[in-house]
Structure 1
Amino acid sequence: MSNIPETGRTPRVQVRLVIIQILVFSLLLTLGGRLWYLQIRNGKEYAEEAKSNNIQRVVQPAVRGAILDARGVPLADNETRLVVSASRTDLMKMKDDGKAVLTRLAGVLGMKPKDVMDKVRLCDSQTPKPCWNGSPYQPIPITDEATTQQALRIRESTEDFPGISAELTAVRRYTAPGKAKTAQVLGYLSPVTDEEIQKAKDSESPYLRSDQIGRSGIERTYDKELRGKAGVTSYEVDKVGRVMGQTQSDPGVPGSTLVTSIDARVQSVAEYELAQAMKTVRGETDKITGRKYEADAGAVVVMESKTGRVVAMASQPDYDPNAWVGGISGKDYARLTSKDSNYPLLNRAIQGQAPAGSVFKVVSASAAVRAGYDFDDKYLCSSSYSMGNRSFANFESQGHGPITLGDALKYSCNTVFYRLGHQEWNRDGGLKPKKDAHDWFYRTARDFGFGSETGIDVPNEVTGRIPDRQWKQKFWEANKDAWCKQGKKGGSYVEQIAYESCLEGNQLKAYDSINFSIGQGDVLITPVQLATAYAAISNGGTLFNPTIGKAVISPDGKSVEEIKPEAHGKLPVNAQTIKDLDKGLRSVVEPGGTAAWRFGGWPQDKIPMRAKTGTAQVYGKQTTSWFATYTDDFTIVMTISQGGTGSGASGPAVRNIYDALYGLDDAGNQDLKRALLPKPQSALPKVQADGSIDAPDIKAYDPKSQLVDPEKQKDGQQPLAGPPPHARTGD
């Protein structure tokens, strides 16, 4: 056993501890130095590199919801197409701003280089269409009609096409079932702008840069429901674009399905009959001007009388809404917005304004009753009415002697209403109106809904015009300076009118009220206003907001939100007056009435028809044709600008629409198998859990057989025939 003392080991242990301490201090010093190097000396550089690791979002656009007719037939849906797009951000990084790439791309796509380059330039106040009005950071579609070969060539030669992509994408499709375009009702889509993105940033439905949004029609009104929610996946990437990891993933939600009250079959009939009526009347000579009728525009509204739901709404000239899909071409844009094409983007049913003519007489008859006149009293229907040195003629200068207000509607007697309008003007004080002036004619027109929006669920409806005392004053204040500058006493007709307007244009004169009593002068109405008013007479007095949207159905079909009809007022007359109006309008289609010759053989005992014809004079133009009608179920109004008389131009087309609705032949015999819609559609179509719809087939309209095979019609084996020629008679 060793006898080495303990003190012998102590120096060695101490040496080891010192060495360990030195090593630890060295490591700490090295670590501290490294931290100083990273955080202080090179801290700024590494901070900048860290910043270059950012979040990139990959957006998968939501599939837009379909728009269906009342029976489930798609009016607008989606289809998969090969879409070639360009990244403007990538192109702008190139020395030539991507001109060489776009030129090569044009060659592959069979397009002109200029057309391709125009597609990617940004819209501003100086840049003509086509241009890109969406976000500059969003891929810009060049074409949605690329072939498989074109797409493969682009994808196989990525070095020749940097910034260019070719992908399968769901794009909007407007199906035109039965050749019914329904263009102005549906509207169209275009890319969201940066300004719109900012405005909607804090809203319940913010926009993404990839969004396409509705610009007009029900695509715009129901955009939030149809658009759905895009899927967004967020990735952390470094400065060279390498994915470092996924940070968040929000799955997309398809848009809801919108069911409308439009019946595609009736829409097809309405569009065809309106276009054919205009075509027919262009071949006839206007006896007043000696020229052929221009028939430059028109509209027709088919409405459920008891609900205000719109079954069909057509406007001429029309267009193909598919022109907007994938970006509109310069040629198409010029055509749709030019004076030569007469602005087909306008929905004349809600934006077309014209004097009302004799269809306005239901307002005047109601105003007379409110003013204290009895509906069944006798009023002189002379051939003309004189006021001072002015004479106001009856239509075709015909007189009928003393008649009731109901007969004044039947014969469309102007002079009855001239007298009533003039008498009420005098009772209200004439040029020096009383403080308590009733202005029954003007007030009643407003209470019928004229001069105001109807509340229809499509944008850009116009109000029309009721030229009462308040309007006269405001209009004079706005135009006085121009009138005074243009006016000349004893000058031309226009100069003399301007001279008189300068001095006293704010006065409601006797001839203003005389003209107003038959819907002439400065009064302007729209077809949808007239349809709403006549539907109210039919349903007992309720003025409904016309509606096209009927229900919103969730993508899985489980949730159905019905859009209930809403009323915005009541007619300003009692039930007895409504019955009297109804009786008078019924007599219009019976022997002696101005529309009787258009409803020969109509089964009046089974399907009571009421109507009013109207021929409105427009300064500097040919007369405007109006035809307003209703049954217990439907109200139909048609107008043709510069088309002549109401029953002459519009009458045959309206009769043909009714025949198709009820399945009637020329003799008035009804075949329910041929009837398109003998009663309003009540049930909603069923949307399956996968979003599919079992939609019925739609066949193109033919006025001879009503239902034909669309393929045979397309091949020209069964040509469409127009309405029979018609005589020029009636108001």
Structure 2
Amino acid sequence: MSNIPETGRTQRVTIRLVVLQILVLSLLATLGGRLWYLQIRTGSQYAAQAQGNHIREVVEPAVRGEILDASGRVLVGNQTKLVVSVSRTSLLQQKDRGKAVLSRLAEVLGLPAKEVQDKVRLCDAKTPKPCWNGSPYQPIPVTQQATTQQALQIMERREDFPGVTAQSTALRRYTGVEGANASQVLGYLSPVTDEEVTKSADKTGRERRLPSDQIGRAGLEAVYDDDLRGTTGIDKLEVDNLGKVIGSAGTVPAQSGNNLVTSIDARVQKAVEDNLAQAMADARKVYDDETHKNFEADSGAVVVMDVKTGRIIAMASAPTFDPNIWVGGISAKDYQALTSKESNYPLINRAIQGQSAPGSTFKVVSAAAAAQAGYPLSSNYPCPSSLTIGGREFKNFESQGHGSITLARALEVSCDTVFYGLAYDQWMKDGGIKPKKDAKDWFFVTAKQFGLGAKTGIDLPSEVTGRIPDRQWKQSYYDANKDAWCEQAKTAKPDDYAAQIAKENCVDGYIMRAGDLVNYSIGQGDTLVTPLQMARIYAALANGGTLYRPTIGKAIMSPDGKLVREIAPHVDGKIPTDEKTLEYIDDATKGVIERGTAAWKFTGVGWPQKQIELHAKTGTAEVAGKQTTSYLTTYSRDYAVVMTMSQAGTGSGASGDAVRRIYQALYGVDDKGTIDNGKALLPKPQAELPKFNPDGTAIIKQASFTDGLTGSRTFLDPVPGPATGTGPAVLSLAALEPARATGRSRG
């Protein structure tokens, strides 16, 4: 028998029962609380979600707005195509799950049956393309290239094609109006990502993204996507637990997007593109004495800017491509061709993404820096054929000396040694190899005040900053490359120039040497700019010193032609020159056209300088391992025109004829220097917005003009139809690493 008293045993049982009761009551309380939370506290929320499980959305794409030029010509519109689509829901309701219907459809369309079947299957992690990655309740497009006869066969035999529709659908179209391409400016579309859809799930209207949406990914299509996209329509369908449609839960109609009026003139754009292409072709016929082969002229860019507003009249980049290649998708072969090194990356807009040394076109900035540093504009400065600094000889172009000359004359003849001397003197004043704590660094400071080394803020994506290689940049560059330099220096040999430089940099690559600054003063060395940055600077020289933010968008218009909002010019600041200095540089750049390095391409061949005064600065930048870069920066009373070409020769020699022809087209000047305003494309920038008909189409006036290259012609612009539709595309930009410019600059 147990020795435990009966009372003790009873107490232990009682305690266990109490604990069990507490546990049961706790579980019941927890369950009751959870039921209260689900049924009362959040019951309405879950009820709505349950109801949502029986609602399926069918999307009606919105009509995307058009992109127009300054006169209302359609640069980007929409075109109607016959699209054959299949309802997957209808197919699944058939006994053979639609196999027979798809086979008949493939026969009518002249496509392999398997291809049609693959297009209507749903995408997942294991299913290769082609497949459908949209909503299974959305009509799935099988082809966008159906003929009228094919569409009639399908629609007249509906009993043979249940769930199949053939209807007109709008697709994006890059019109090439007036022959203008402007592909890098206009941009492209691509489908939204799952992440974008998820992030906008709680939004409404245009802010909400749906799986079927197209979105701008580059150019104006991207920047003004919210304005252009419109609001997608939604047809809500009630379905049962098997997915069968049993009714409608309401419809939200689609709303068309607004139109974008730009400052681009399609006719000027065409003339600019043609002249850039011709200049590159001409350069490839010229023999380069230094490399002993013809110039490659592998890329280039041109910017035409309204000097009084900063608006872009034309922007061209080469090589280029047909933007319509993205509409409806692009083949792997075509995509590879556009993104390969062999094609030289035509997707890049070199006007805003192409960085290179500006060469002697930078000297107007250095002249302004010298004036700020206190060097008299009225003084003469020595222009010897060469100057020895730090044991290194820095030469003028073709080792030509000009004696003692003014800064203005130094700009006209593009004398390097004048600027070498000024930069070296200022470097010494700032402490030389041991800089003062309060070093003025006028040449760097002034460049930044001109807006260099920073984005201009143009309404295009992916603009780059360029580079001003000041002391701060020098230090950060040293920190990033010191280890690599020191490793390379270990193998340095007397005849290995690169290794010897690495050896020097390993020791004191962070120091601003005299050679760095004198090279910089003529737009060489580590200096990088974009054509747009230089156009902005020369526009400021033309308008009295105002730095405008470059813009392409001019106004947002509703589909019926009413103004939604105007995009006004924006002033970012002033260049750091007083009125006297500005007039001095203005007169010097006029001298470049009349008697300086550009005279042989302008006044020397009959340009009417007295009637239409032009100003210019030529530049020829030397780049390590490449042929010279041609740079020509110009302005008139109305426009700044900047052209640059990689590996093309001298500034005036390679670009002079093309830039002159652009001005001839703008002002109606023939090859004999006669001005005919009736043949001028745009003798004054167009300030007013285009007029529109009641249906939203633009009213285009008749005009005759000469493009300066192919002769004169007369045209009557067709009145564009209303915008209809959207179009898909996929694109990614390749990146170019700019080469470092070294050596002397040429005028």
TM-score normalised over the length of structure 1: 0.84
CA shift at 1:576, angstroms?
1.2
List aligned pairs for 1:485-634, cutoff 5 A: 485-487=487-489, 488-490=491-493, 492-599=496-603, 600-634=605-639
1:352 — aligned with what?
Answer: 354
Please identify the structure whose Cα radius of gyration is greater. Answer: 1
Q: CA 1:126–1:342 in structure 2 vs 1: closer, same or farther (change >3 Å)?
A: farther
CA shift at 1:615, angstroms?
0.3
Measured in 2, the distance between the counterparts of 1:199 and 1:332 equals 32
CA displacement 1:591-629 (0-9 Å, x = unmatched)? 244444333322222211100100011111100000100
Measured in 1, the distance between the counterparts of 2:339 and 2:93 equals 35
CA shift at 1:163, angstroms?
8.2
**In structure 1, what residue type is equivalent to 2:331?**
S
Q: Percent identity?
A: 58
Q: CA 1:633–1:511 in structure 2 vs 1: closer, same or farther (change >3 Å)?
A: same
1:705 maps to which of 687, 691, 711 = 711
CA displacement 1:280-310 (0-9 Å, x = unmatched)? 1111111110111110000000000010000
Measured in 2, the distance between the counterparts of 1:346 and 1:133 equals 29
Measured in 1, the distance between the counterparts of 2:660 and 2:74 equals 27
SS, match of residue 171 in structure 2:
strand
1:28 — aligned with what?
Answer: none
CA shift at 1:490, angstroms?
2.4
SS, match of residue 689 in structure 2:
coil
1:59 — aligned with what?
Answer: 59
CA shift at 1:630, angstroms?
0.2
Measured in 2, the distance between the counterparts of 1:131 and 1:425 equals 65
2:313 — aligned with what?
Answer: 311
The answer to whether the Cα contact below 8 Å between 2:182 and 2:316 also exists between their aligned partners in 1 is yes
Q: CA 1:53–1:647 in structure 2 vs 1: closer, same or farther (change >3 Å)?
A: closer
Q: CA 1:91–1:407 in structure 2 vs 1: closer, same or farther (change >3 Å)?
A: farther
CA displacement 1:556-614 (0-9 Å, x = unmatched)? 22334110011222101111111111000000001244444333322222211100100
CA displacement 1:15-41 (0-9 Å, x = unmatched)? xxxxxxxxxxxxxxxxxxxxxxxxxxx
Q: CA 1:102–1:638 in structure 2 vs 1: closer, same or farther (change >3 Å)?
A: farther
List aligned pairs for 1:9-408, cutoff 5 A: 54-84=54-84, 141=141, 143-152=143-152, 166-202=166-202, 205-408=207-410
Q: CA 1:570–1:149 in structure 2 vs 1: closer, same or farther (change >3 Å)?
A: same
SS, match of residue 589 in structure 1:
helix
1:448 — aligned with what?
Answer: 450
Measured in 2, the distance between the counterparts of 1:508 and 1:66 equals 52
2:695 — aligned with what?
Answer: 690
Q: Which moved more, 1:122-131 or 1:282-291?
A: 122-131
SS, match of residue 658 in structure 1:
helix
Q: CA 1:627–1:555 in structure 2 vs 1: closer, same or farther (change >3 Å)?
A: same
CA shift at 1:482, angstroms?
2.2
Q: What is the RMSD computed on CA atoms of the aligned residues?
A: 3.5
Measured in 1, the distance between the counterparts of 2:406 and 2:128 equals 60
- Bigger relative CO (Cα 8 Å, ≥ 6 apart): 2
- How many residue pairs get aligned? The number is 667
Measured in 1, the distance between the counterparts of 2:186 and 2:617 equals 30
The answer to whether the Cα contact below 8 Å between 1:337 and 1:343 also exists between their aligned partners in 2 is yes
CA shift at 1:381, angstroms?
0.9
Unpaired runs of 5+ residues, structure 2, are: 1-46, 718-744
Measured in 1, the distance between the counterparts of 2:629 and 2:202 equals 48
SS, match of residue 249 in structure 2:
strand
Q: Which moved more, 1:538-547 or 1:191-200?
A: 191-200
Q: CA 1:595–1:106 in structure 2 vs 1: closer, same or farther (change >3 Å)?
A: farther
Measured in 1, the distance between the counterparts of 2:106 and 2:388 equals 72
**In structure 2, what residue type is equivalent to 1:421?**
A
Measured in 2, the distance between the counterparts of 1:440 and 1:176 equals 46
Measured in 2, the distance between the counterparts of 1:104 and 1:605 equals 74
Measured in 2, the distance between the counterparts of 1:397 and 1:503 equals 33
CA shift at 1:237, angstroms?
2.6
1:644 — aligned with what?
Answer: 649
Q: CA 1:605–1:441 in structure 2 vs 1: closer, same or farther (change >3 Å)?
A: same
2:24 — aligned with what?
Answer: none
CA shift at 1:662, angstroms?
0.3
The answer to whether the Cα contact below 8 Å between 2:301 and 2:531 also exists between their aligned partners in 1 is yes
Measured in 1, the distance between the counterparts of 2:124 and 2:479 equals 35
Measured in 1, the distance between the counterparts of 2:122 and 2:659 equals 46
The answer to whether the Cα contact below 8 Å between 2:681 and 2:707 also exists between their aligned partners in 1 is no
Q: CA 1:58–1:314 in structure 2 vs 1: closer, same or farther (change >3 Å)?
A: same
Unpaired runs of 5+ residues, structure 1, are: 1-46, 712-728
Q: CA 1:205–1:591 in structure 2 vs 1: closer, same or farther (change >3 Å)?
A: same
CA shift at 1:187, angstroms?
0.4
1:414 — aligned with what?
Answer: 416
2:43 — aligned with what?
Answer: none
The answer to whether the Cα contact below 8 Å between 1:53 and 1:236 also exists between their aligned partners in 2 is no
CA shift at 1:143, angstroms?
4.3
**In structure 2, what residue type is equivalent to 1:598?**
F
SS, match of residue 617 in structure 1:
strand
Q: Which moved more, 1:63-72 or 1:75-84?
A: 75-84
Measured in 2, the distance between the counterparts of 1:705 and 1:632 equals 25
CA shift at 1:493, angstroms?
2.1
CA shift at 1:211, angstroms?
1.3
**In structure 2, what residue type is equivalent to 1:688?**
N
CA shift at 1:423, angstroms?
1.2
**In structure 1, what residue type is equivalent to 2:465?**
T
Q: Which moved more, 1:230-239 or 1:170-179?
A: 230-239
Q: CA 1:168–1:290 in structure 2 vs 1: closer, same or farther (change >3 Å)?
A: same
1:30 — aligned with what?
Answer: none
Measured in 2, the distance between the counterparts of 1:460 and 1:437 equals 34
Q: CA 1:127–1:268 in structure 2 vs 1: closer, same or farther (change >3 Å)?
A: farther
**In structure 2, what residue type is equivalent to 1:269?**
A
SS, match of residue 287 in structure 2:
coil
Measured in 1, the distance between the counterparts of 2:186 and 2:354 equals 17
CA displacement 1:102-157 (0-9 Å, x = unmatched)? 99877765678999899889999999999988788866655432222344556678
Q: CA 1:243–1:160 in structure 2 vs 1: closer, same or farther (change >3 Å)?
A: closer
Measured in 2, the distance between the counterparts of 1:207 and 1:180 equals 32
Measured in 1, the distance between the counterparts of 2:342 and 2:93 equals 41
Q: CA 1:246–1:158 in structure 2 vs 1: closer, same or farther (change >3 Å)?
A: closer
SS, match of residue 577 in structure 2:
coil
Measured in 2, the distance between the counterparts of 1:249 and 1:58 equals 9
1:469 maps to which of 471, 475, 483 = 471
**In structure 1, what residue type is equivalent to 2:601?**
W
